[in-house]
Amino acid sequence: MAILNFGGVEEQVITREEFTLEKAREVLKDETIAVIGYGVQGPGQSMNLRDNGFNVIVGQRQGKTFEKAINDGWKPGETLFSIEEACQRGTIIMCLLSDAAVMSVWPTIKQYLTPGKALYFSHGFAITWNDRTGCVPPTDIDVIMVAPKGSGTSLRTMFLEGRGLNSSYAIYQDVTGRAYERTIALGIGIGSGYLFETTFQREATSDLTGERGSLMGAIQGLLLAQYEVLRENGHTPSEAFNETVEELTQSLMPLFAEKGMDWMYANCSTTAQRGALDWMTPFHDAIKPVVQRLYESVKSGNEAQISIDSNSQPDYRDKLNEELRALRESEMWQTAVTVRKLRPENN
C-alpha cells in the first residue's frame, strides 16, 4: 500500500502501480464474474472488465435494458443471460442493481450464493440496512465492495480516456481468505484510479449524505435560492443564470478542481476575494446544522427507510417523473437550455 498525506492526515491507498492489471488478471483467472443489472453502474463496470481481459458475463431481465446490453456487444447465450443463469454460472456475483431492485431480486440471487462464491456490491445500502432490506448474505461466502466515486458513465468515459475513477473498497465477510485480493483485483479491473479503504456502513452513510448534500440536494437548493433572489430583484433570467450557474460550472469549477479553492481565490479580483472570504463563514455557519441533521437522519436509517418506502410504491416511477419534469421545466433550468446553445462550441 502507498501512504499518502491528505491535509496532514496519513492514509493508506492502493494504486495501479503496486497492484497491476496483470496481477489482477492472475488473481481472477479462474473466476467467472457475473454482473447482475445493467443500469447505472453495470455497463461501465462490465465493459471495463471485458476490455481489460477478464471473464465476465451479464445477467439482465428481458426488455429495453437487455437490448442495450446486446447493442454494447454482449451476446445472448454466450456472455448475456437471465439473472438466474448468470448467478448460477458466476463465481463472483456483482450485484449492481438499484437499491429497490436488489430487494425484489434478492430471493433469486440468494439461492445461487453457494459456498466459496463472492457477493460484490458498489454501494453499502443493502447490507448496512439489511434489517430493513432483508438482504442478509449466507455466512459461507465472501461479501465485498468496490464503490467508484462517480457514475458508471464517468467510470467508462475515464477508462476510454486512459484515466481512472477513484473508488473505495470494503470487506464485510472473508470466508475464503481471498476476499481482499478478489476485491482489489476487481477494483483494478473496473478501472479504478486508486482505492481507499472503508466499511459498508461508512460508505453507505457518506454516500447518502453526499447525494443529499453537496453533490445534488444542497447544490440545487443553493443555486435556486440565489437565482430566485436575483430574479426577484429585477435581474433577467440570462443574468441570474450566468451569475449563479454558468460561471460556476464553466469557469470556476474546472479551476478549483485542478488547483484548489485557495488558488482560485488567489487568482480572482480583490473584490471577489474580499467578499468570498467574508461570506464563506456565514454560509458555513448556516449550512452546517442542516448537514448535521442530514447526517443523523442518514445514520439512523431514516433516509434509507424513506427511500425503501418511496421506491416500493406502485406509482413510484410516475411520481418521480413528475418531480423531475417540474425541475426540468423550472425557469432556471429552461434558461440553461438556451444558454447551453449559446456556448461557443455549439456555434
Q: In what order do the strands lie in the sheet with 118-121?
A: 2-6, 9-15, 192-197, 165-173, 142-148, 118-121, 92-95, 33-36, 56-59, 80-81
Q: Which three cell numbers stand for residue 283?
A: 454560509
Note if 123 is an active site residue.
Answer: yes
Q: How far apart are CA 148 and CA 79, in angstroms?
A: 24
Local structure of 112: helix, strand or coil: coil
Catalytic pick among 37, 48, 120, 123:
123
* Contact in structure between 303 and 208 (CB atoms under 8 Å): yes
CB contact set of 199 (below 8 Å; sequence gap of 6+): 124, 170, 172
Burial class (CB in 10 A: 0-12, 13-18, 19+), 312: exposed
Burial class (CB in 10 A: 0-12, 13-18, 19+), 152: buried
Residue 75 carries which side chain, given as an amino acid letter?
A: K
- C-alpha distances in Å from residue 54, one per residue of 32, 165, 188, 193: 8, 19, 11, 18
Q: How far apart are CA 166 and CA 195, in angstroms?
A: 6
Angle at which helices 302-311 and 99-110 pack, to 10 degrees?
A: 80
* Contact in structure between 170 and 205 (CB atoms under 8 Å): no
* Catalytic residue list: 123
